[in-house]
Amino acid sequence: MKCIIDRRAQFSASHRYWLPELSEAENLARFGACTNEKGHGHNYVLYVSMAGDLDEYGMVLNLSDVKHVIKQEITSQLDFSFLNDVWQEFQETLPTTEHIARVIWQRLAPHLPLVRIQLFEHPELWADYYGNHMEAYLTISTHFSAAHRLARPDLSYEKNCEIYGKCARPNGHGHNYHLEVTIKGEIDPRTGMIADLVAFQKAVDDFVVEPFDHTFLNKDIPYFAEVVPTAENIAVHIRDLLKQPIAEIGAHLHKVKLIESPNNSCEVYCTEPLSLAHPAAQREPALVQP
């Protein structure tokens, strides 16, 4: 029986974004504060996903062996290091989150049956790599607070209450929405980036967070005057708002995940869901794919 297992590891390291072929002004314009000559650091969290058949002992792999491989090949070399200098791959291509994930895959692939490398630079920025040449996924997370009411204007109050329950109450209710936006693209062989991270964050802020934050969605966002602002419909609208801005920064919008509460979330895709494309993601099916 096929099964996927994950092993978590972590390391602390610093890095710097700087290309010697660019002037100081050009580096500053492209990388901002990340050009500081002393570098800056992160507590990286790494998840290694592996697939295989269960053996007679009920295991895909012996996790003690997996732990040893990850330590020997990755964490013992990267922990408390300056990434730009530690591996040759980071001298040719900047050690961005997505590129580090790709190089970790390359170094572990001869030893483990990998299906995914997921690397968190911090809780609001992470990359996924599935072994597909230079293609990687980059996710940022953010939040906004908003109120809404779930009710169709063409239905009676009683019918809306039957469908939406307490959410149909006339004065609405609010949520602290957690939003995850994932892009995919080819890693630039020099910058190590799928797209400019600052431009990516700005697109999400300008087109979603600022317009949506501290609003009553039904009344303040024109789209929801006629569309019921369920979590699913909000996610679909966010996806549609971000498609073009993300394309303009040179990437493809892959997924929008909206977490309405600890109990409710939904995902919508612009491209083939990872649950279909990659076995490692089969535990995260798309709930909405209009």
Query: What are the residue numbers of the active site?
Result: 167, 214, 260
DSSP of the chain: -EEEEEEEEEEEEEE----TTS-HHHHHHHHGGGG-TT-EEEEEEEEEEEEEE--TTS-SS-HHHHHHHHIIIIIHHHTTEEHHHHSTHHHHS---HHHHHHHHHHHHTTTS-EEEEEEEEETTEEEEE-S-TTEEEEEEEEEEEEEE----TTS-HHHHHHHHGGGG-TT-EEEEEEEEEEEEEEPPTTT--SS-HHHHHHHHIIIIIHHHTTEEHHHHSGGGGTS---HHHHHHHHHHHHHHHHHHTT-EEEEEEEEEETTEEEEEESS--HHHH-GGGTTS--S---
Q: Scan for tokens 């300008």, then name that residue.
A: 206
Contact 139, 125 (CB under 8 A): yes
Beta strands 135-148; 215-216: pairing state: parallel
